[in-house]
Structure 1
Amino acid sequence: MRAPGVGRIIAAQLTARFPNGMSSLAILLHVEHITGSYGAAGLVLASASVGQAVAGPITSRWMGRWGMRRVLTLTLAVCVLSFLGLAFLALPLPGYMALGLIAGLSTPPVQSAVRTIYPKLVNSSQLTPLFSLDASLQEIIWIVAPVVITIVSTQVGSQQGLLLVAAVLVAGGAWFILSPEVGRVRIPRSRRGFGAVVLKPPVLLATVIGFLLIGACSAVEVGVVKTFDEGGLQAGLVLAVFSLGSLIGGLASGRVPIGPWAMARRLAIVAVGLSLTMFSLNVFWLGGTLIAAGIGIAPALAVLFAITSASVKFSETAEAYGWVGTGQLIGAAAGSAVAGFLIDRSGSPAGAYLAATLFAAVGLIVSVVFVRAFPDLRHRDASPIPDTEAVPLP
């Protein structure tokens, strides 16, 4: 944090990404309020999620072609207009779905941008701790944002909830875009074809394991909401504790060297903690087991960010993080769907915790089976590979 610009860019990117923790609930509550149907709201939300998943690698790659500020400004403007349309326009369901899709497609690629900037802000020995700090602090978004948007949308109005999302998008996005660090860092244009970077083993592993890890987290959220559907405060507190565990784990592991087995050890913590949730649905038991499981989440995400950065050229980092983000978005949708299916089949929230445990266990198995594909960063830094090219000599 003492390195010049680090504190500013962390604060700016957290503010710019804060709407990510509000937009889903804001859309869900508004469309349900307008149509009276959770099914219709779910379709609009699914459209937005599909848009985000598709756009992630594409808009991230555009930053190497047209520059970060241009791409971020364009996507921000379209995204804000989409939310204003959702708030003010009276449309049939397909119209709301189209606006949801546009909002997802135009989500500013702030996460890819900031993780591309980090290697230019700190020296090589500080990069892995910075990734860990970033993974930890992003938990603030998932602790605070859902509470804020739920209060505004239910107590003030669902339209005002969407307007709040648009306002934070503008404020946070402008702060990030105007940050000097964003203007100073230029991403070289990638010389490889679109999608080639995801075929690199560490990037592919980061994408697959991110899918499984976020799938587990999403299944937990469904299980907690189902467990305490008659007591929303308890559900919120248990999920906050889950995120708090992740925050603590990320801060504690910031300077732990990342070797090939680092991911397996951190996912083992998550898998064991989640497996214990199935023994009791008592609020204190769930809180204790989830804080234990959460201790491994931010450290595991830090490994994902570090191995991605260390395995690609600087010109490919933004697109690589776009693919990793897409894997996580698909994992969130898959985790929710599988958890919901198991709850319906069993009639008990335990089905969701089983789903979460299975997602985490598969992630652990993948990290063990393919351990040789993980780069050893214990004696090297996580900086991207420099872009080089032939220099003609006279």
Structure 2
Amino acid sequence: MAGYRDLVRTPGVLRIIAAQLTARFPNGMTSLVILLHVEGITGSYGAAGTVLAAASIGQALAGPVTSRLMGRFGMRRVIALTTLVCAAALTAMAFWIAPLYVYIVLGFIAGLTTPPIVAAARTIYPKLVTSRQLTALYSLDASLQEIIWIIAPVLITVTATQFGTTQGLMLVVVILIGGCSWFVLSPEVGRVRIPPSKRAFGKVLSRPPVLLAAIIGFLFIGSFAAVEASVVATFNHEGLDAGIVLAVFSIGSLIGGFAFGHLPMGPWAMARRLTVVAIGLALASLWLNVWWISVTLFAAGIGIAPALAVGSAITTASVKFSDTAEAFGWTGTGQLIGAAVGSAVAGFLIDITGGPAAGYWAATALCALALVVAVVFVRSMPDLRVRGAAPLPDTDVIRTVTP
């Protein structure tokens, strides 16, 4: 824990972490409140799901693009503009009683203009701390983000059910504008300038660690989405059980990140951490009892934040600083697609088998596939135990000839 104490004493670190977590807080609220709002208006969960799908597609398409644009126009301009447009789309959705296609368009716009806070924050981190401290900082970031998934769904559910979905959407808008304003106005954001990338768009995926981070993220996050679908199917009529179990899952990740996330990251770090998660998910499918599932998902959660930290670290360490934002945009897109696929696969299996156990099997299989990828391509994983996770320099060595 000494490494974390040194981190929080570093000027600017606490402010950036707090600001970016606040700006990302709506991520744990938006999907749920849109689902409740559109279903309340149309009376159809299918219609609400279509709007959510449009938002997810927009967000997946925009991730690498808006992240790369920060190198051309600056972080403050891109984040400020996307925040305003996203807030306007959500506000229109809140107050405009319209046909379904209008909500689909608004959902797509809201997803397309989701502010690239994650890419911006993780691009700033290498400029705040030393390369040796970066792995611990990514671990701290991955751990603290679990607070969003513990608090945000409860907050928005209470707001939407007690005061109305319109008020819920406006709460999202207020937090979005407030959090993004705090982040944009932070001095550290103004001091860090991302050089325009000289590489073609998408070329960053030619770096094996970045491609691996995107593929593993796709499978790994897909397994979480399958877990969520399975837990909801297991405790659909059991009061608060589903929410409590998912909160325990996140608490396990929070504790795991603090306890183990700062450990040195060698080529096998990802595989070891994924193994913990895969075993926990496999055990969860054996007995669909609230206590058993809580214990096994807590155990699985211990490996989540540390594994996500490895993904962030190998991404940063494998690209030039000018390419870090776009690289994180691609890995984020992989995770978004994984979440959609994981939910769909788990839901389909639960329906055709008539029981939630199949959803846990799907989650285990997706995580196991991520583990296989990490093991098979371990030689492509950088060893960060010596050089740290700092990005590659943007300048090249100029050779001179002397007479």
**Shorter-chain TM band:** over 0.9
Alpha-carbon separation, structure 2, partners of 1:287 and 1:161: 29
Q: Which residue of 1 aligns with 2:185?
A: 178
Alpha-carbon separation, structure 2, partners of 1:232 and 1:117: 42
Alpha-carbon separation, structure 2, partners of 1:379 and 1:256: 12
* Contact map agreement 1:130 1:254 (CA 8 A) in 2: no
Unaligned runs of at least 5 residues, structure 1: none
Q: Which residue of 2 aligns with 1:241?
A: 248
Q: Which residue of 1 aligns with 2:209?
A: 202
- 1:223-279 residue CA offsets vs partner (Å, 9 max, x unmatched): 001111012411111000000010111111133110111111000001000000111
Paired positions, count = 394
Q: Which residue of 1 aligns with 2:26?
A: 19
- Structure 1 residue 34 corresponds to structure 2 residue 34: no
Alpha-carbon separation, structure 2, partners of 1:258 and 1:232: 41
Q: Which residue of 2 aligns with 1:315?
A: 322
- Structure 1 residue 230 corresponds to structure 2 residue 237: yes
Alpha-carbon separation, structure 1, partners of 2:208 and 2:81: 32
Q: Which residue of 1 aligns with 2:114?
A: 107
RMSD value over aligned CA atoms? Answer: 1.2
- Structure 1 residue 93 corresponds to structure 2 residue 115: no
Q: Which residue of 1 aligns with 2:3?
A: none
Matched residue type, 2:209: P
Matched residue type, 2:305: A
Q: Which residue of 2 aligns with 1:282?
A: 289
- 1:270-299 residue CA offsets vs partner (Å, 9 max, x unmatched): 100000011101000000000000011100
- Structure 1 residue 160 corresponds to structure 2 residue 163: no
Alpha-carbon separation, structure 1, partners of 2:397 and 2:389: 25
Alpha-carbon separation, structure 1, partners of 2:178 and 2:69: 23
Q: Which residue of 1 aligns with 2:4?
A: none
Alpha-carbon separation, structure 2, partners of 1:74 and 1:392: 42
Tell me the TM-score normalised to structure 2 length.
0.96
Matched residue type, 2:385: R
Q: Which residue of 1 aligns with 2:154?
A: 147
Equivalent of 2:368 in 361, 370, 373:
361
* Contact map agreement 2:267 2:382 (CA 8 A) in 1: yes
Q: Shift of residue 199 of structure 1?
A: 1.9
- C-alpha change, 1:369 and 1:6, in structure 2 (3 Å) is same
Q: Which residue of 1 aligns with 2:332?
A: 325
Alpha-carbon separation, structure 2, partners of 1:8 and 1:76: 20
SS at match of 2:199: coil
- Structure 1 residue 377 corresponds to structure 2 residue 363: no
SS at match of 1:279: coil
Q: Which residue of 1 aligns with 2:89?
A: 82
* Contact map agreement 1:225 1:232 (CA 8 A) in 2: no
Q: Which residue of 2 aligns with 1:126?
A: 133
Alpha-carbon separation, structure 2, partners of 1:302 and 1:64: 24
Superposed, which structure 2 residues align to 1:36-55 within 5 Å?
Answer: 36-55=43-62
Alpha-carbon separation, structure 1, partners of 2:396 and 2:383: 26
Q: Shift of residue 311 of structure 1?
A: 0.2
Alpha-carbon separation, structure 1, partners of 2:346 and 2:306: 24
- Structure 1 residue 217 corresponds to structure 2 residue 202: no
- 1:289-328 residue CA offsets vs partner (Å, 9 max, x unmatched): 0000001110000000000000000000000000000000
- 1:82-139 residue CA offsets vs partner (Å, 9 max, x unmatched): 0001001111111100000000000000000000000000112111100000000000
Alpha-carbon separation, structure 1, partners of 2:250 and 2:225: 12
SS at match of 2:240: helix
Alpha-carbon separation, structure 1, partners of 2:241 and 2:52: 25
Q: Shift of residue 393 of structure 1?
A: 8.4
* Contact map agreement 2:317 2:390 (CA 8 A) in 1: yes
Matched residue type, 2:139: S
Alpha-carbon separation, structure 2, partners of 1:345 and 1:35: 27
SS at match of 2:285: helix
Alpha-carbon separation, structure 2, partners of 1:312 and 1:33: 46
Alpha-carbon separation, structure 1, partners of 2:238 and 2:33: 20
Alpha-carbon separation, structure 2, partners of 1:183 and 1:279: 52
* Contact map agreement 1:14 1:138 (CA 8 A) in 2: yes
* Contact map agreement 2:76 2:190 (CA 8 A) in 1: yes
* Contact map agreement 2:261 2:305 (CA 8 A) in 1: no
Matched residue type, 2:242: A
* Contact map agreement 1:19 1:165 (CA 8 A) in 2: yes
* Contact map agreement 1:219 1:336 (CA 8 A) in 2: yes
Matched residue type, 1:313: K
Matched residue type, 1:285: W
Matched residue type, 2:220: L
Alpha-carbon separation, structure 2, partners of 1:255 and 1:294: 16
Alpha-carbon separation, structure 1, partners of 2:164 and 2:320: 47
Alpha-carbon separation, structure 1, partners of 2:64 and 2:262: 29
Alpha-carbon separation, structure 1, partners of 2:279 and 2:350: 21
Q: Shift of residue 198 of structure 1?
A: 1.3
* Contact map agreement 2:276 2:299 (CA 8 A) in 1: yes
Alpha-carbon separation, structure 1, partners of 2:148 and 2:68: 25
* Contact map agreement 1:241 1:291 (CA 8 A) in 2: yes
Matched residue type, 1:293: A
Matched residue type, 2:10: A
- Structure 1 residue 193 corresponds to structure 2 residue 200: yes
| Seq. identity, % | 67
Matched residue type, 2:145: Q
